Structure 1
Amino acid sequence: MITRAKVQLHTLLLLIIVVHFSQPVCVDVPSETEAVLGKPMKLTCISCMKREEVSARTRVDWYYLPKQDQNIIQDPIPIFVYKDGHPEETEGPWLGRLVWNGSQDLQDVSIRIRNVTFNDSGTYECQVFRKFEFDYFTPSVTETKVIELTVKEKASEDPAALYSEIMMYVLLVFLTFWLLVEMVYCYRKISKSDEQVQDTATNYLAIPSEHKDNPAAPVTE
């Protein structure tokens, strides 16, 4: 009992240590750059933080960058703002069609476009401003990511997705065949074992009674 209690205590301590030191994994993945007309589209913007930076204050500004002309220089158009824990849309053709799609820890600061139109094609900029709150100083950092979005009437075929689907079906057929082979093998093995038991019982019954092992005679006083 003492040994079992020690093992359980050590296991509990190990689980506590693992949970304490484990942190959510942040993977910086690029955004999709192709949208389908009339469908929703996620503009992915990942800004990973280190463990000691989790307490930072975050502000996210999304801009649309018009095509620049040689004679006319246009400023970026603000289309979405996230600050103080609240998402805010700005005036313009995207009003009512942009939705906050970020994570709770603000490492994913993406937005989603509802009902994509051809006018949504163009360049988008995700600007992430973080102000860190350490004990003795409060540094800040700004990270900018650019997304080139193209809107098409129909989704183009992805060769990688088609290859993955084919491989999935091939693997499914292989696993089904392997399962059938295992079932047949196990059935034959069990049948052979039953036949051996039956043959042993038949041979035993065929032996004359005088050749069979006699049970020990009872002991009498």
Structure 2
Amino acid sequence: SPAEMILWLSVMAASSPCHGGCAEVDSMTEAVAGQGFLLGCISCKKREEVPARTTVDWHFKPLQEDKFRHIFHYNHPTADILHEDFAERLRWQGTLNTDVQVGAVYIHNVTFNDSGTYRCTFHRTLFLVPEAPCSSNCVSCPPANRELVSVVSEILMYVLIVVLQLWLIVVLVYCYRKIWDEHEAREEKKAQKAQEASVVF
């Protein structure tokens, strides 16, 4: 019967080439006529702390056709069904804010005419806030000039190396003199004992 007919739906995911993203969906997915079906699509940002605004578009290419049809557009909070074949049958199941990362759409009452390829496309705009110049009222100021910091660090490193080498030389000289003094004291005691022994005999 038509309600038990198995349909083949192929899902594609795409993200804007200028933004890094992760898009993972299953292709060649089975759906049953007369039932509902979830079209999954994910596009993740690399840096969660950067605010963004994202819109999602779904396109559909029926079997035996070469062109995609624009069937759905989501721009929070508005979800628009753009093709009459899917009128009142598509429902947004993705992220419910402006920074969309899950672009899933649910199809109600799947029919044989829904067989084909579905393409999901993310359009993401990142809002990068420039660093404000430092003033007397700044809570946190931009870091110092990196080149100057690098030069100062290198100079301090060489000074520290020279100081440690000089300290090592001083320690070696001190230890050598102490050992030499003890050796001289032992030799002097031996000579003194030898002289006392010769006087006795």
> Could you tell me the TM-score, scaled by structure 2's length?
0.48
For the pair shown, the structure with the greater C-alpha radius of gyration is: 2
> Could you tell me the TM-score, scaled by structure 1's length?
0.43
